[in-house]
Amino acid sequence: MFNYEWFHNGGLQRLIEEAKDRCTAKKFTDASPPGNGSPERTAYRDSLETRVILYMRDGLTYEMKEMTETGMSSALAFECVPVDDGYKVGAIVIVAPYDDIARVEVFAVHPDEKPQDNIRIPGFRSAAAEAKPD
């Protein structure tokens, strides 16, 4: 389902815009469409932050910081947001074949409404992990 065209020619951007529209609609419950709102509504939408989460078929989860241009079209190259504090001093660049990407999620939130704790967005669990009681 995912390929170079989806990530680089509009698919990801449309998903980001959809998340921003829905977040704005949740805050401003009036019936006006997202593009025809008040200046307050427009300012709110423009200030939204997004997080792009990639769920891989092998169960790993990555938060995309930024796509990178490596000149290849057979795989997605991106810098990911490190979870481990020891890796936050550098940069992690990942190359993942498009076929290995199972799901893409976009989380949109206003900076004033963002949780104080750095929320962890979980990925898939293995069948063995799901069977264990907490």
Q: Which residue has the higher pLDDT, 61 or 130?
A: 61
Instruction: Please count the structural domains in the chain.
Output: 1
User: Residue 7: CA atoms inside 13 Å, Cβ hemisphere, count?
Assistant: 27
Mean pLDDT (the chain, rounded): 84
Let me know if residue 121 belongs to a domain: no
Let me know if residue 131 belongs to a domain: no
Let me know if residue 126 belongs to a domain: no
* 106 close to 52: Cβ distance less than 8 angstroms: yes
* 62 close to 85: Cβ distance less than 8 angstroms: no
Residue % of the chain over a pLDDT of 90: 56
Q: Which residue has the higher pLDDT, 66 or 129?
A: 66
Domain span at 85: 4-113
Residues 6+ apart with CB under 8 A from 130: none
Let me know if residue 94 belongs to a domain: yes
Question: 54-99, pLDDT tens digit by residue?
Answer: 999 999 999 999 999 888 899 999 999 887 777 778 888 999 999 9
List the beta bridge partners of residue 64: 52, 80
Let me know if residue 52 belongs to a domain: yes
Q: How far is CA 45 from the centre of its chain?
A: 17
